[in-house]
Amino acid sequence: MSRLDFLDTHARTRAVQALKGVPAFARNRLTAADVWVQDHHAGLGGTVLTVLCTATLLPLHFRMDQVIELARQFAPVFTIISITMGAVFTSIKWVRKRREARLAARS
């Protein structure tokens, strides 16, 4: 076995070992993010709704005539916004239930 083969095999072994830890690392990070969202659901939901309302109101404020013309052509936009807001509220409710279940399981 030449030195080059040994280094190549050793490097591959290290790479495989590093990749084996990726799923556990990703799972831990996702779990931590999930717990953070559960603990901060009210502020996060408020922030999302604020961003959505700002993104909706700014074009209305600065380009009202153009927005009205586009609304006539693309009326489903308002439906999409209401569906999105409903999804945000539903997500907050779902996360709140998961948080309560997690905290109840800890007690």
Span 43-81, pLDDT tens digits? 988 999 999 999 988 988 888 888 888 878 877 877 888
Residue 1 has pLDDT above 60, yes or no: no
Q: What is the pLDDT of residue 86?
A: 92
| HSE-CB for 12 with a 13 A CA cutoff | 6
Residue 2 has pLDDT above 60, yes or no: no
pLDDT at 7 (0 to 100): 55
Judge if pTM exceeds 0.85: no
Residue of 96, 94, 97, 91 whose CA lies nearest to 49 = 91
Closest CA to 102 of 48, 32, 47: 32
